[in-house]
Amino acid sequence: MAVKDAETRTTVQEIEETLTGGIADITDAEPSSFLPDQPFHELGIDSLGFVEILVFIEKTFKLQLIQSDLTRKDFESIRSLASFIHKNL
């Protein structure tokens, strides 16, 4: 899936779509298999997968997550993560 630059992804829903596509690529799953509010721990993503997701977010959205106020609650689901990204763009 081709991911658009962060500048073209401005709404939470659009960010959710970008995240879903990226996570699907990382996990080799179909994007339709992910629900926006589904907890990440239910997706079977291991610690390496989480690191890959963080790298994807930093590259795609040009965010420095290590220097951000990202919390465990922000990383519960695609929707909560999209809201965090939207707020920090």
Domains belonging to the chain, first-starting first, are 9-27+36-88 (1.10.1200.10)
Position 3 pLDDT exceeds 80 = no
Q: How far apart are CA 30 and CA 9, in angstroms?
A: 21
Q: Return the pLDDT at 53.
A: 95
What's the CA dihedral at 20, 24, 26, 27 to 10 degrees? 130
pLDDT, one tens digit per residue, over 36-88 is 999 998 988 888 999 999 999 999 999 998 888 999 999 999 999 999 999 99
Q: Return the pLDDT at 1.
A: 45
- Say what the pTM is: 0.84
21: β partners: none
Q: How far apart are CA 20 and CA 76, in angstroms?
A: 14
Q: Which two tokens stand for residue 35?
A: 């629900």
SS3 39: strand
pLDDT, one tens digit per residue, over 58-68 is 999 999 988 88
